[in-house]
Amino acid sequence: MPSLLKCLILACSSIFVHGVQAASQDDELALLADRRITHLAQFPDPTWFNQISTWLTTQESDGTWPDINYMSGCAAQRANWPIQVHWNRIITFAAAWSGANPAVPQNRTRSDSLIKAISRGLDYWFRNDYRTPDSLETARANWYDQAILIPQLCSTACLLLKDANLSKDQSAGCERIPQRSYDLRDGVYGTGGRMTGANAVLVMQNSVSLALYTGNATMLRDAYGRAMSVMTFADEAMEDGIHRDGTFLQHSGILYNGNYGKDLLNAFVQLEGEAIGTSFIAEDATRDAVAAQVRGNEWMIFVDKQTRREHWDFNAIGRFVAFPTQDLQATSDINFNSSKLGSAVADFTGANDVSDSLRRLKSNGTEKLVGNKGFWASDYMVHRTRSYMLGNKMLSTRSRNTEAVNAANPYGYHLGQGTLFSYVDGNEYRDIMGAWDWNLVPGTTVLLNHTKLSAGASVKAGTNEFVGVVSDGQVGTALQDYTDPLDGSISYRKAWFYQDDFVLVTTQDIKRNGSDAPVVTVLDNRAATHGNIQVDGRSVQAGEGETIQGKTLFYGGNGYLSYDETFHLDLCEGNRTGNWSDISTSRAGTTTVSIFSALTTLKNTESAYAMFPASSPSRLAKERENPSASPIMKSGISGALGSGRLSLVFWPGGEKTIELNLRDIGWAKSGSVTISSAQPGAYLLSGERERGRRMTLVVTLSEPTQKAKSATFSLRFQGAKAEVTAAAAKQRRTGDEVEVKYTVNLPTGGMAGSSISRKMYLEFGQ
């Protein structure tokens, strides 16, 4: 069933009328109440109104329905509590009775049969309501239902019935259920602890409905203020909320833009939309954060070209990867309305203007977002071209991989630990998680089948702090100094060097500890598609599994090239069967899907390969003969060079200097450059040739530990008769050498780990 928040924003856009003058307190309460009732009347799925006659007929005399599962207490289903259907029907009746939904026939307005059925339904619930002070702890195994879900449904129904002349007991129930959640606003919500992030906003959103129902201006002001204050930047590592890079974290460091972040955004759309023209509108701090989140969201959204639906990157939805699309969870849709969001942020100007992002989102993929975005607060990078999107999630001491909560995602341990999801057609991973091999998460480097997957072992923070991103907006590098957080059984240093239309991946210093399991990199684990499997240009059958060596692999439009060593491939294409109930509370049951998996065994302590999404066999063959970029793997240094770009990672404890040929990079016909970094860090050096021998060189850097306050680096050009014509740095010339040295201040606070750039202008001799 659709979430309340999603449906709330489907109200007619006429309520988002700008220019309404601030009114008196009573007038503002009346205006907000009218707007919210208009919103809430849109909550029911339109098809539910067609069921009104049936539900009136089948309702029992005690107010229940025979087809609803009323199991409650600890024995009830932990997530998506089935009993909420009882409230959905009451709300459907109330929306029809209110007359506030123009899609409902007017003969339902103020209908006696509806109000009688509503009364029976309310009486049943209020008679059986938990009334003890600790009911948030004891009433359900999942605190969320009593703290947020039921107060949300109850306050929705009751506000729609504000003029219904409810009985004294009914009115008391309408107040009691959301009130006890509001009363704990500064306390602890059972096992849910103190409310943070989206959960705190949802409690306050329900409290706004309660305040409007009771006419309590003090509560209304408090609830609005608390909600808007949560929707500001969270600057501490792993802190729940919106971060300055546009990511949304929940549950202490899990990337959740596509679920909890979406809930918070929908709450903002409702609260701000209702507050326009009143004294309750968002202040600048909230606008800054919401604008950053909207822009961040856009990077994480792809389009399924078959269904034409927008979806979230699987890296951004946490445990909800374990649900099929039919369950209408975070895998099914982006679950926010771009048009209504646009109305709520229509007066966002200057740096907070998000009209470009909204225009592209509304285009449903026809207008492309292209480039590279590094999310330093969540160890995450997205690379987008006109043909594909890549989502790359890593793990550090400042983040967590995933979670297994409410019987969802028990096998997700390897998620968020170097994952690389690729979206070309957008259906690559649709509805396959119920049957796929959870040991083979795309992009990860692991000990094969090592670590027994279980809910108890799923959630982990990283053990190393040197993990991060550097991006110039066009290309970028993601890097991960990795040690298995569960048992330390494997460690390595891995970097993803994003070029214009491919990614080059290096893995170095691979070490095993206490296990003989083979080290493998999972190239992909996706829905099978049309076309052959090709290894070195030859078709391969893998219906029963195939072990084969080769320099190249091509499947489903994606090409893979191994540098130096050959791939040691294990390929499989065929049906796999599983059950969604094994990994979530879904009732979708048994599923059989055709899946393609490809992994390569790493025989040495280092490896390098490239992935070419949305490519062709001919392009792959050309790259094999004449690579656009080549890997760099030296003692403590990783990198990629070619086509005018150089990407470098100086790892902790490694070498601090590297000398490279200018011809190999693509900057000049002869000579070399020596790059030195006084501290570990990540660098992008992009040279753009102008007329003659002049070149603009942009150096972009970041400090992955997010602890350093400054960084020093230098470039020494030799044998190329280089002249530095402009650079805001110290210069030194000795004979045929010229050196440029920079010391830069690094971003701090919520910007620590973000990228900064310096530019210089060069001329090379003949």
Per-residue model confidence as pLDDT tens digits over 596-642: 999 999 999 999 999 999 999 999 999 999 999 999 999 999 999 99
Each domain of the chain, given as residue ranges in start order, spans: 1-35+209-369, 41-194, 372-625, 631-763
Q: Classify the C-alpha dihedral 30-33-39-42 as positive or negative.
A: negative
Residue 5: what pLDDT? 41
- CA 381/CA 374 separation, integer angstroms: 5
3 pLDDT more than 60:
no
Residue 672: what pLDDT? 95
Please give the structure tokens belonging to residue 395.
Answer: 């793990």
Residue 457: what pLDDT? 84
Q: Does residue 589 or residue 766 have the better pLDDT?
A: 589
- CA 261/CA 278 separation, integer angstroms: 25
DSSP 184: T
Residue 720: what pLDDT? 76
Kindly indicate whether the domain formed by 1-35+209-369 is annotated with CATH number 1.50.10.100.
Answer: yes
Per-residue model confidence as pLDDT tens digits over 191-217: 566 777 888 889 999 999 999 999 999
Residue 8: what pLDDT? 39
Per-residue model confidence as pLDDT tens digits over 258-275: 999 999 999 999 999 999
Per-residue model confidence as pLDDT tens digits over 393-432: 999 999 999 999 888 999 999 999 999 999 999 999 999 9
525 pLDDT more than 60:
yes
Architecture field, domain 372-625:
Distorted Sandwich (2.70)
Torsion of CA 646, 649, 654, 656, to 10 degrees: 50
Residue 757: what pLDDT? 96
Average pLDDT for residues 341-358, to the nearest whole number?
Answer: 95
- CA 256/CA 260 separation, integer angstroms: 6
Residue 101: what pLDDT? 93
Q: Give me the chain's average pLDDT, please.
A: 92
Amino acid residing at 191: T
Residue 535: what pLDDT? 97
Domains 1-35+209-369 and 631-763 share a fold: no
Per-residue model confidence as pLDDT tens digits over 542-566: 998 999 999 999 999 999 999 989 9
Residue 4: what pLDDT? 44
* DSSP E strand stretches across 551-693: 552-555, 558-562, 567-579, 590-601, 607-612, 630-634, 637-642, 645-650, 657-661, 672-677, 681-689
Return the CATH number of 41-194, one of 1.50.10.100, 3.40.190.10, 3.30.430.20, 1.10.20.10. Answer: 1.50.10.100
Q: Does residue 45 or residue 225 have the better pLDDT?
A: 225
Please give the structure tokens belonging to residue 431.
Answer: 């509805």
Helical H runs in 363-463? none
Q: Cβ–Cβ contacts within 10 Å for residue 199, how many?
A: 24
Per-residue model confidence as pLDDT tens digits over 100-156: 999 899 999 999 999 999 999 999 999 998 765 444 555 445 678 888 899 999 999
- Any idea which residue has 């359900």 for tokens? 140
pLDDT band at 351 (very low <50, low <70, confident <90, very high): very high
Residue 78: what pLDDT? 62
Residue 333: what pLDDT? 95
Kindly indicate whether the domain formed by 631-763 is annotated with CATH number 3.90.550.10.
Answer: no
644 pLDDT more than 80:
yes
Maximum Cα interatomic distance, the chain, rounded to a whole number of Å? 98
Residue 734: what pLDDT? 72
Average pLDDT for residues 60-74, to the nearest whole number?
Answer: 88
Average pLDDT for residues 382-401, to the nearest whole number?
Answer: 98
pLDDT band at 166 (very low <50, low <70, confident <90, very high): very high
* 136-150, 226-240, 668-682, range with the lowest pLDDT: 136-150
